[in-house]
Amino acid sequence: MVPASDQTRLMLDIARMLEDEINWLVNFVPSENGDDVRHIDNTLLAGHLQLIRTLLTCENVDKVESGMTASSLLEKSTIITFLRFYANANSFCS
């Protein structure tokens, strides 16, 4: 947890950082080039999810609002990723 005093001293904008991380997740497109690259994608994704989790523990963060926003965007992102995968699979099989 990062106390509010440290956030001010270090000039951290936790809300902006959360927004940036959520936007990164929404725009993330997994690789399609094999197991080695997928492992790297999974590691990268896990790191970003851990950062979001950590940012949500900071003081002065509306955890309910931020959590709902993150959940909603992640749900949409998951659906979009599935649709991309489905579209690519169909075009590959055609």
| pLDDT at site 85 | 59
Question: Residue 15: pLDDT band by 50, 70, 90 thresholds?
Answer: confident
For residue 45, is pLDDT > 60?
yes
Question: Which of 27, 63, 75, 32 is CA-nearest to residue 48?
Answer: 27
Closest by CA to 29, choosing from 16, 45, 17, is 45
Percentage of the chain with pLDDT > 70? 73
Instruction: Indicate whether 14 pLDDT > 80.
Output: yes
Q: Which residue is listed with tokens 């709902």?
A: 68
